[in-house]
């Protein structure tokens, strides 16, 4: 069965610190997709990134970077030089390419990040 | 601007009452989804639709119903059979399955 685990329930950092949010997933599919979403206090989910299971290249987008390692079934998210505006709940999610639930997102429980000035 | 509109933002339900949450998108997306979020929890899938006039149950469909008569619209009805409806409901759409889902601002449903 598929599952996403975000072991860190809450993280608190001071502005300008780097912070890494962990995500571990389980799936029996060889083809799958991994996502990160940000949920600010206003409530809507904002899409950050999608990776497919065949692309293990790390990705950097400004202060955000993602480390995908199939060997450890992890897709970790790092924010460099954190800012107060980064305060939000971050969700990692998995979708499988095949099977009855293809395309449906399985979410982790989220990590609440608080960045203090 | 293209996007997903959910209404109302806040909704109150009386005992034994059905209520309908609206979700409209102008992104020309084929797939639409409804999720429920409880405090401190991730999102759980209620229903999804990959094409007009077709929809499938998600993980927690009991007590809910949907329709997909138009590509742009995917309303969710919370029936009286749903005994614990208080939650934050999020609607999403995507071009097709496995594409990134784009979310609305959500509807917060409470019981009077």
Nearest to A44 among B58, B98, B104 (CB): B104
Which residue among B41, B101, B108 sits closest to A105, beta carbon to beta carbon? B101
Give per-residue pLDDT as tens, B69-107: 999 999 999 998 888 899 999 999 999 877 889 999 999
Contact B12, B111 (CB under 8 A): yes
B8 preceded by cis ω (within 30°)? yes
| Chain A positions in Cβ-Cβ contact with residue B92 (cut-off 8 Å) | 45
Nearest of B40, B4, B1 to residue B21 by alpha carbon: B4
Q: Please say whether the beta carbons of A3 and A29 come within 8 A.
A: no
The answer on pLDDT for B50 being more than 70 is yes
First to last CA, chain B: 35
Residues in chain A predicted with pLDDT less than 50, given as ranges, are none
Please identify among residues 34-93 of chain A the ones whose CB lies closer than 8 Å to any CB of chain B.
35, 37, 42-47, 50, 91
The closest of B43, B49, B25 to A43, measured between CA atoms, is: B43
């Amino acid at each position: 069965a598929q599952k996403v685990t975000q072991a860190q329930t809450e993280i608190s950092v001071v502005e300008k610190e780097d912070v890494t949010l962990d995500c571990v997933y389980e799936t029996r599919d060889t083809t799958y997709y991994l996502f990160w979403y940000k949920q600010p206090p206003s409530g809507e989910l904002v899409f950050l990134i999608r990776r497919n299971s065949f692309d293990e290249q790390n990705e950097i987008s400004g202060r955000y970077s993602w480390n995908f390692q199939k060997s450890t079934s992890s897709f970790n998210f790092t924010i460099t030089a954190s800012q107060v505006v980064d305060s939000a709940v971050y969700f990692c999610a998995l979708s499988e390419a095949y099977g009855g639930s293809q395309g449906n997102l399985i979410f982790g429980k989220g990590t609440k990040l608080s960045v203090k000035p | 601007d293209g996007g997903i509109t959910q209404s109302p933002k806040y909704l109150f339900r009386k005992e034994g009452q059905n209520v309908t949450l609206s979700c409209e998108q102008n992104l020309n997306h084929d797939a639409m989804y409804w999720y429920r979020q409880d405090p401190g929890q991730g999102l759980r899938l209620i229903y999804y639709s990959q094409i007009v006039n077709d929809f499938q149950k998600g993980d927690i469909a009991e007590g809910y119903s949907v329709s997909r008569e138009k590509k742009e619209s995917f309303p969710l009805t919370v029936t009286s059979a749903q005994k614990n409806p208080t939650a934050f409901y999020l609607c999403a759409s995507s071009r097709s399955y496995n594409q990134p889902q784009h979310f609305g601002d959500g509807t917060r449903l409470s019981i009077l």
